[in-house]
Amino acid sequence: MHGTEDEIRIMVVEGPSSNHPSSNKSVVVLPVSAKSLKRDLLAWYRDRPDFRGLRNRDSHGARLYQSSGPEFSVDSSLQFRQVDAKALAEEIGMLEEKIEQEKAEALEHENYEVVDVLTKLSGPVQELQGEAVLLSIDDVTDNKYKLEDRKRRIAEELHQATSTKRIERLRAEYVEVRDGVSEIVKESGNDIEKRQLQEIISHEHVFINTNSAQRMDEHISKLRGLQFQILMRSPDFLTGWFRSLVTKRETFNDQVQAKNLIEAGKQHIEGEDFDRLLEVNRRLFSLLPEREQESRHAPLYRDQLTCV
């Protein structure tokens, strides 16, 4: 993206780390022009920046480091709690989408109490979006700050309505995944993998009672990683995964590449070259639309695309 008109916006917020960022108070937005980059940022890095430099309220600059390669910096006199009218409208739009997503998920799990709360939030957020659209980009009144405060309160209500139920679901998912992985490790795991499982379980009493969905997700991902590490040695699993991917052939983003990979996969199965079949499976999975990669049964594969 370097050399283009694109821009990275680093949104700094203040509040509990367990909150969703949109429910915390906006402190400052640091824009980084793509023209200032010396090379493209990797897609995964854009979502996981190693951000350092903004340490206190007296800071006048921030510096962002890539894990490898050159750094770039933002050096300017920062006025804290900046609210950009355009960015605010976009954030409100994303909040509305989030409410609808959470409502659909609550309906799926028959959490009608949560559905009622989210339905009541839909009206205010739509009203908020209408008011944000009317803001001029160079608005100098305090209207945008008032709108940002209202957006934050709605986001906080959303977080409060959904966080408890989500934690409960994650706890149930953790137990389900842990029990499944324990069976696989017992049957097919080596000594190292058995120690890895024991290490995760030994810390269970700490994170199983946490109110942080992120920490629960992290430990579930560790278990899935261990599960995949063992399953990838199974020809039956790799063959089944390949056949499952083939059923989605019409959804692949690059049909020509997918066709070639499918033919290669068939040859690898026939020749019992399962190391190459694993690589084919990973490449096919990466060609799926994002909604397919984010589906209920996809995390096992998605988390491991670049692992082992």
The pLDDT score that the predictor gives to residue 183 is: 94
Q: What percent of the chain has pLDDT over 90?
A: 34
Q: What is the mean pLDDT of residues 91-111?
A: 89
Other CB atoms closer than 10 Å to residue 208's CB: what's the count? 15
Higher pLDDT, 3 or 93: 93
Residue keyed to tokens 């409960």: 168
Question: What is the three-class DSSP state of 35?
Answer: helix
Q: How confident is the model at residue 195 (pLDDT cuts 50, 70, 90)?
A: very high
Cβ-in-10-Å burial (0-12, 13-18, 19+) of 264 comes to: middle
What does the pLDDT look like over 129-149, one tens digit per residue?
A: 898 888 776 666 778 888 988
List, as one string, the DSSP characters of 95-124. HHHHHHHHHHHHHHTT-HHHHHHHHHHHHH
Average pLDDT over residues 48-68: 43
Q: What is the pLDDT of residue 54?
A: 46
Token readout for 73 is 């910096």
Q: Is this prediction's pTM over 0.85?
A: no
pLDDT at 168 over 90: no
pLDDT value of residue 134 = 83
237-296: per-residue pLDDT in tens?
A: 999 999 999 999 899 989 999 999 999 999 999 999 999 999 999 999 989 887 777 664
| Residues 15-44: b if buried by 16+ CB within 10 A, e if exposed | eeeebbebbbebbbbbebeeeebeeebeee
- Per-residue confidence band for 81, with pLDDT thresholds at 50, 70 and 90: low
- As given in the structure block, the two tokens for residue 220 are 């579930």
Joined together, the tokens standing for residue 131 give 């008011």
Q: What share of the chain is helix, strand, coil (3-state, %, to 5)?
A: 60, 10, 30
CA 196/CA 176 separation, integer angstroms: 18
10 Å Cβ neighbour count for 151?
A: 24
pLDDT of residue 50: 45
- Residue 143: which of 95, 88, 91 has the closest Cα? 88
Going by C-alpha positions, the residue among 295, 297, 261, 263 that lies closest to residue 279 is: 261
Confidence (pLDDT) at 77: 44
- Reported confidence tier of residue 21, pLDDT bands at 50, 70, 90: low
**Residue 306 has what pLDDT?**
37
Q: Is the pLDDT of residue 209 over 60?
A: yes
Q: What pLDDT is attached to residue 190? A: 94
Alpha carbons 112 and 51: distance in angstroms, whole number? 40
Position 277 scores a pLDDT of 95
Distance CA 32, CA 159 (A): 29
Contact assessment for residue 2 and residue 39, using Cβ atoms and an 8 Å cutoff:
yes
Tokens 């108070």 -> residue: 25
Q: Mean pLDDT of all residues in the chain? A: 78
Query: How far is Cα 234 from Cα 222, in angstroms, rounded to an integer?
Result: 19
By percentage, how much of the chain surpasses pLDDT 70? 68
Tell me how crowded residue 200 is: count the other CB atoms within 10 A of its CB: 17
Report the alpha-carbon distance of residue 262 to residue 249 in Å, rounded. 9
